[in-house]
Every structure is written in C-alpha cells, then in structure tokens.
Amino acid sequence: MYRELLADARFHNLLLAFDTDLADAARAERCRLCGGALHSAKYPRKPRGRGCKLGPEHDRRFSFCCAIEGCRSRETPASLRFLGPKVYLAAIVVLVAIMQHGATASRVQQLSAQISVDRRTVERWRRWWRDGFTITPFWQSARAGLMPPIDHGRLPASLLERFGGGDADRLVALLRFIGPITRGRARAS
C-alpha cells in the first residue's frame, strides 16, 4: 500500500502544496530577527525514495533570505518533504521505520530494496526516532498533549496510530504534525 503511495505523483503534489502554503505563511511573517522582507532563496535538493518521475519544482527546498543588509538571516519554513539534512524523503524516513514494527522481515527488505536504503541507514533512522527525535524541544512540548503517552520504543508507528483516516491521510497528518522540527533559522555568516 505504501509502495503505491510513493509512486503516486498526486501524493507528492499534495506534499508540495502543503510546503508551498507553509512557505507563503513564513514569507508573510517577514524576518523574525529584524522584521525585514524575505526574499526567495530556494536551495536544490535531490531527495531519494520517490517511486515516480516528478517535475523540477519537487527538487527545491523553500527557503528565504532577509533582504536587509547586515541581517541577511535565512529562514527555512517547515516542510513535509524534507526532514533536516536527511537525503531521503521525510515520508520514507517515517515509512521504513514503521515497517520495522509489526511488518515481516521480508516486507522491510522489499521496501528497503525498492528505495535502496541499506540496513545501516534503516538502523540509524530507528535510533534517530528513539534518541534524536524524542529530545527535540518540539517533541518535549508536543508529547504532553498526547494521552495516553506515546511509546517511544515504537516511534514513529505509535504516533501514526493517533491519526485517523486512510494510510495517506495518516502519513500526511504525521508529517504536518512533526513539521516544526524541520524549520530552521540561521544568521548569515
């Protein structure tokens, strides 16, 4: 089921539409340091793990640069597609980790082979969900609102289960929910 999703251009277009909205909202807020106007400063990404061919607009991460000389800070809005510096699509980082829980070893192998993720990468993601994600300020505050508490040992499956709807709806809901951890701000150096 998830394999079809990753091969469905509509799914990727939906993620792009959410990212476009998040970028528009970030731009409207202006620079958080000085209030200056934000100029588009997208940067190229080549995310791995897609199951279909997509246009060049899918290979750009929305980002902005403050127009004020002497500030020039960079604002990178939240994204449903790109999870920090990880080279795989955010959806993949969620799905492969989920497949580890409850799925048979052969299913994990199938999906991993389809998107060519090696075992070490999968293991690294599993550790990130357990030890990296759980210590983010976002999660420290978000977890308080989730009752009963989320089982950290089963992340992200235990979080995905809290959202309703079909497979795609739940995945998109999870990506939107954790979106704040993908947001970044940096001073020009």
- Residues near Zn ion (CB under 5 A) are 31, 33-34, 36, 66, 68, 71, 73
Distance of alpha carbon 127 from alpha carbon 139, whole angstroms:
15
Alpha helices in 58-186 (DSSP H): 90-99, 105-114, 119-127, 137-142, 157-160, 167-177
The residue (of 25 and 188) whose beta carbon lies closer to Zn ion is 188
Which residues are paired to 82 by β-bridges? 89
To Zn ion, the closest distance from the beta carbon of 124 in angstroms equals 35
Nearer to Zn ion, 14 or 33 (CB): 33
For 80-95, what is the HEC assignment? CCECCCCCEEHHHHHH
HSE value, Cβ hemisphere, 13 Å, CA-based, for 70: 2
Tell me the closest approach of the beta carbon of residue 70 to Zn ion, in angstroms: 8
> What's the closest the beta carbon of residue 84 comes to Zn ion, in angstroms?
23
Q: In this complex, which beta carbon is closest to Zn ion, that of residue 7 or of residue 71?
A: 71
Nearer to Zn ion, 15 or 66 (CB): 66
